[in-house]
Structure 1
Amino acid sequence: MKNASSLLIVLLFLSVWEIGARLANQAFILPSPIQIAIKLWELKEVLIINHLPVTLLTIIIGLAISIVSGTAIAVWMFSNPSVRKALYPILIASQMIPVIALAPIFVLWFGYTIWSKVAVAVLITFFPITVNTFDGLASGKKETEELLLTMGATKKDIFLKYSIPTALPHFFSGLKVAVTLSVIGAAIGEWLGAQAGLGYFSRRMMTQFDGAAVFAPIFVLTVVGIVLFVCVTFIEKRLVKRRNIN
């Protein structure tokens, strides 16, 4: 029933968009969904073969770096209060800087290589993973930890068998936010400086006033974000279900 309601809302939105675009009759500014679909079909090989792999590689590398470094720093802050007091304000401050302002600086540092785009993706995905993982680790009850200590468990046992399972749902919550933001980060990086990628292609089509071709790679980026979100949700359900069974 929920899926049917969502589908109905999407169809209604597309219908209003289609009618509005036809009434406006300015495809270079507001192409209709049908025009975008036709253009997407015409450009499918260029987008999927030439540009999608570049964007996917940026997303995957950026997410991998954020997961490894973000989780490590979250564990470090959890295990050391002094580190937490020193790093937590810096993490908050890092999110106050507009990514759009730093992206050109990354281009100056790394050039038009993939690493300037990866840097943007890391900057935008690092925070939700780190903070959510830390909050999950810190959400464990002190009473439970003290009880485990009195039963002979070591701090290592408590961390591995209690703190990590407790933090797992929080980690995946942060990761689900991060995977969608990673798509945005990769696109922003490609918009501001790239030689390939879906964001780069969209910007290039804008200079040619081809509205449908601008929206076509955006649609592909949307699909990529949805697929990544579904994959993370699937993995989360499997791991959390296994944890609950155990």
Structure 2
Amino acid sequence: MDGSTPSARPRFELQRWLMHPATRPVWLLVLLLVLWDLAVRVFSIPPYLIPPPAAVVKQLVAEWPMLLQQSLPTLYATLGGFIASAVIGVPIAMWIAYSRTVESFVYPLLVFSQSVPKVAVAPLFVVWFGFGIVPKVIAAFLLGFFPVVVSTVQGFKSVEPDVIDLARSMGANPLKIFLKFRLPQALPAIFSGLKVSVTLAVVGAVVGEFVGANSGIGFVLQRATGTFDLPLMFAALVVLSMMGVLLFLAVEVVERWLMPWHASQRHDLQATA
């Protein structure tokens, strides 16, 4: 039996729940909302510049069915661009990591492609592919592709050559070396790139919707901007942020499922124990 009294146990459990790592972002969000509301009231900011949080919440509740429906095209474009980034980016990164010749040719072109503003080239995708989902997927892909490549290249280059030499001396074939040594060593970096990529893919999908679309959260943002409906604009931004957070958490869940052995996962388990 422990030394705590029965009356102290509920208080301890409440304190433990309040300080749980999963609830800390909620308290930070509440604090930011309070500061937002205080700033609007203290500085007398007019609603046409920054709406109060209550107006945004009211609009979010009132327009939730519409916002949920409009978020689906954005979600589809985001997932399409993100999956394309992973499927194309990881093999190209492996190709770059294993060949200095390929790296010298391809890597500068990738860096150059990132210096081109996506908003500037997005209208070309509409001209080439029309007003369907394809231009949005391409815009999401272009924004999410580079982080996957950079992180994956660094992951595969971080494998110690001595470990590979030891595996070869013990008779391991190239496939076994890849599956047992190279890939596990590179997985943390790959998932770091994927988590950055999935959030940038959301931005890319919205950029594609800004250029030419009649649906999606980007279309809602454009319509709200044209009518100066700031509460609707902020409500759409909230939905967009929620989408990015949920996709990020989904990638993180897959990461924890595939890498329970990694030091970061063991640290998380110890912290929550």
1:77 paired residue number: 96
1:19-168 superposed matches below 5 A: 19-22=38-41, 23-49=43-69, 51-168=70-187
Change in Cα spacing, 1:154 to 1:182, as seen in structure 2 (3 Å) is: same
**TM-score of the superposition, structure 1-length normalised?**
0.92
Deviation for aligned residue 1:17: 1.3
The one of 188, 213, 216 equivalent to 1:194 is 213
* Residue 229 (structure 2) pairs with residue 210 (structure 1): yes
**Alpha-carbon distance between aligned partners in 2 of 1:25 and 1:42, rounded to the nearest angstrom:** 24
Deviation for aligned residue 1:100: 1.9
What is the total number of aligned residue pairs between the two structures?
243
Partner amino acid for 1:160? L
Per-residue CA distance 1:183-234 (angstroms, 9 max, x = gap): 1111121122211001111111111111101111110010011111111111
Quote the RMSD (CA, aligned, Å). 1.8
**Alpha-carbon distance between aligned partners in 1 of 2:47 and 2:222, rounded to the nearest angstrom:** 16
Please identify, of 101-110 and 113-122, the stretch whose mean Cα deviation from structure 2 is larger: 101-110
1:234 paired residue number: 253
Deviation for aligned residue 1:3: 5.3
Q: Secondary structure at the match of 1:153?
A: coil
**TM-score of the superposition, structure 2-length normalised?**
0.84
1:159-178 superposed matches below 5 A: 159-178=178-197
Change in Cα spacing, 1:29 to 1:110, as seen in structure 2 (3 Å) is: farther
Q: Which runs of 5+ in 1 are unaligned?
A: none
1:185 paired residue number: 204
Please identify, of 23-32 and 211-220, the stretch whose mean Cα deviation from structure 2 is larger: 23-32
Partner amino acid for 1:174? G
Q: Share of identical aligned residues, percent?
A: 36
Per-residue CA distance 1:126-152 (angstroms, 9 max, x = gap): 001111111111111111111111111
Larger radius of gyration: 2
Q: Secondary structure at the match of 2:115?
A: coil
